[in-house]
């Protein structure tokens, strides 16, 4: 039977993981799984219910009472919260920040773990997040850690928001990025780090296509054949 692969891409906010993962998945004919969208989905509901991101009691109830599902659409897994397609609502900076805060809690991580593993069950998937290669898919066939300096990530995020027509102060993005980095890297459970065995790619001086080419070239020269 044909071997089916799991490719993980971890890294900090603004490193270009989503764009790279989407292009890579398309090129390989794989499914793209954006796990940040799951945390964002829960954050979106917490905001809607006015639950504070450090209110562990209400967050636990939220986890018990919320149905998060993934549906495959155009070779991408789309997130549904209580049956609602939340894709268009979870991409704000506010949702990202709350997602980063609530993702530090064990109850939140536990809630989303099996869902992510199930999505990877059949392989041929590019899974992107913070703990893909370290916790969710430690046996992934190829692990990458996509990094970039904070200055570069801030500047990319700033340009991206301006392109979308969203006015964004550079200093505010700078502050948010610093907070996000600290929250994601310093939490006790599943902190953001380069997983064991991951190939680290510094994208400061690379275009998106340059990063994709590096990943493809690595995969082509390091084929894993297991039965």
Binding interface with ligand DC (CB under 6 A)? 13, 35-36, 39-40, 96, 99-100, 103, 129-131, 180, 184
Closest-CA residue to 78 (of 38, 48, 108): 38
Residue among 35 and 76 whose Cβ is closer to ligand DC: 35
Closest-CA residue to 94 (of 168, 151, 198): 168
Shortest Å distance, C-beta 77 to ligand DC: 13
Reduced to 3 states (helix: H, G, I; strand: E, B; else coil), residue 34 is: strand
Residue among 53 and 96 whose Cβ is closer to ligand DC: 96
Shortest Å distance, C-beta 180 to ligand DC: 5
Residue among 179 and 223 whose Cβ is closer to ligand DC: 179
Residue among 36 and 195 whose Cβ is closer to ligand DC: 36
CA 180-182-184 angle, 5° bins: 65
Shortest Å distance, C-beta 206 to ligand DC: 19
Residue among 73 and 106 whose Cβ is closer to ligand DC: 106
Shortest Å distance, C-beta 90 to ligand DC: 8
Shortest Å distance, C-beta 225 to ligand DC: 28
Reduced to 3 states (helix: H, G, I; strand: E, B; else coil), residue 142 is: strand
Phi (first) and psi of residue 68, to 5 degrees = -105, 130
Strands 6-10 and 125-129: parallel
For 124, the token pair is 């041929």
Q: Report the C-alpha gap between 208 and 211 in whole angstroms.
A: 5
């Amino acid at each position: 039977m044909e071997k089916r692969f799991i490719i993980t891409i971890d890294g900090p906010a603004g490193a270009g993981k989503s764009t790279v993962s989407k292009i890579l998945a398309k090129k390989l004919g794989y499914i793209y799984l954006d796990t940040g969208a799951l945390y964002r989905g829960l954050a979106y509901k917490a905001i809607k219910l006015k639950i504070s991101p450090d209110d562990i009691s209400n967050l636990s109830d939220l986890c018990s009472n919320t149905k998060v599902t993934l549906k495959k659409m155009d070779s991408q897994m789309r997130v549904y919260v209580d049956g609602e397609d939340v894709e268009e609502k979870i991409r704000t900076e506010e949702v990202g920040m709350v997602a980063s805060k609530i993702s530090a809690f064990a109850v939140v991580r536990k809630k989303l773990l099996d869902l992510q593993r199930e999505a990877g069950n059949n392989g041929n998937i590019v899974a992107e997040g913070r703990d893909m290669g370290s916790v969710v898919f430690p046996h992934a066939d190829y692990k990458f850690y996509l990094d970039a300096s904070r200055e570069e990530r801030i500047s990319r995020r700033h340009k991206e928001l301006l392109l979308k027509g969203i006015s964004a102060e550079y200093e505010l993005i700078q502050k948010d990025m610093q907070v996000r980095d600290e929250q994601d890297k310093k939490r006790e459970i599943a902190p953001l780090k380069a997983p064991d065995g991951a190939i680290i790619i510094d994208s400061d001086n690379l275009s998106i296509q340059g990063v994709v080419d590096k990943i493809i070239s690595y995969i082509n020269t390091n084929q894993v054949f297991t039965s």
